[in-house]
Amino acid sequence: MEHIKLSVEKTLNFVDREEIFKYKEESEKHLTALHEGTGKGNEYTGWVNLPSKITAVELKDIQETANHLKERIEVLVVIGIGGSYLGAKAVNDALANNFDMLQADNENPLVIYAGQNISEDYLYELMEILENIEFGICVISKSGTTTEPALAFRLLKELLEEGVGKEEAKERIVAITDESKGALRTLADQEGYKTFVIPDNVGGRYSVLTPVGLLPIAVAGHDITKLVEGAKAMQKYTVATDFEENPALLYAATRNALYSKGKEIEILANYNPKLHNIAEWWKQLYGESEGKENKGIFPASVDLTSDLHSMGQYIQEGKRNIFETVLSIAKTKYKVVIPKDKGNLDKLNFLAGKRVDEVNKMAELGTQLAHVDGGVPNIRIELPELNEFYIGELLYFFEIACGVSGYILDVNPFDQPGVEAYKSNMFALLEKPGFEEETKKIKERL
């Protein structure tokens, strides 16, 4: 079976092989701790063995719910923030036609997102367009009280009920929430919504292979069975493969070896615009998992070759505290050959007869060589092609490597205590009941 491939050869001018391999025993120990649930934050490691535990019955339930929604709606609004929507958006955008929104005859609903911001204009424009569209809602929240999604759900639920009535609205709303507690669970039970459970032992940024990600992906028309099969294949591969060939352990070890040499920023680069939101998902995964206790590699991303005309200058000649991880797709879905032009005013006839992807691949290779020469180590991850199976592999690879890498840093990769600070300040400024003392103190600072 072919798997995604990892190469660290273009880092070896900056860290030698021994500096990477010094993490061999430690990373293997951390991988075992993840699978056995004995490391920091082990109460949130349910995602580790999740791919092999997802049953055909569970997948059938998710697919049937997706089909039920498809019969009624043109648009599904996924309401969630952070890990509650980033995984689904990453997969859907990677697998969709780049111009889905312009295709009038889509057989699957368009999946869009809300509750990921508090922009009044965004919500107004969303509600305005939805007034004339048959839409449904997938609301995702363990508690049901997180400000951004709760606010969006309040508005869109009212809009939906006013448009189609409470009974039909009930058929178009799916809640993905806690099994037994929380405001959303209470409401879903009262209203009779179809529900799925966010497992207690799976945190939001590791939840893409739960109903949180799988339902919106299924509604968009993608094969969730193959996605899970890919994740399951990578789960088995990372357990059975020795360090030298194990992509997750090598990735975790190499990035920590580079970090120890002062490479504090990792730039995830891609050469396919469909991977933009894979990088957005990856940034939350690594930033929220590792950025604590004044430690952690800062995750950034670029879309190439576009950003070579903006960020390329800094990557080539800016501060040398960065390294790149390049996502590459070996085989494209389509074939486009460059034609010969009689006038040749653009001076591109030397490319005539070549595929566009060949030009793209040479841009990728040329950029890699230039950046390495400029002092930027390069890790390369290659997917054989862009489909559900290999995206499933990629998601699990990044997740398991993140857990190992966080343990190498000696942090808990599964909590996020720093996220609460802005919420407390916001509630105090809004004079939320119960925050009277905080309100008084914060107003004295203004």
148, 266, 288, 393: which one is catalytic?
288
Taking only the tens place, the pLDDT of each residue in 342-395 is 999 999 999 999 999 999 999 999 999 999 999 999 999 999 999 999 999 999
**What are the φ and ψ backbone dihedral angles of 48, each rounded to 5 degrees?**
-60, -50
Q: Can 2 be counted among the known catalytic residues?
A: no
Predicted structure pTM score: 0.96
Q: Can 30 be counted among the known catalytic residues?
A: no
Burial of 163 (0-12, 13-18, 19+ CB in 10 A): middle
Taking only the tens place, the pLDDT of each residue in 376-388 is 999 999 999 999 9
Taking only the tens place, the pLDDT of each residue in 72-86 is 999 999 999 999 999
* pLDDT of 420 higher than 90: no
Calpha distance 17→116 (Å, rounded): 42
Average the pLDDT over each of 42-51, 263-272, 433-442 and give the range with the smallest value. 433-442
233 to 238, 241, 392, 396: CA distances (angstroms): 9, 12, 9, 9
Q: Is 164 left (phi over 0), alpha (psi -120 to 50) or beta?
A: alpha
Taking only the tens place, the pLDDT of each residue in 238-261 is 999 999 999 999 999 999 999 999
CA angle 207, 211, 213 (to 5 degrees): 55
Contact by Cβ (8 Å): 348, 403: no
331, 340, 354, 423: which one is catalytic?
423
Q: Can 288 be counted among the known catalytic residues?
A: yes
User: How many beta carbons lie within 10 A of that of residue 102, not counting itself?
Assistant: 8
- Residues paired with 322 in a beta bridge: 265
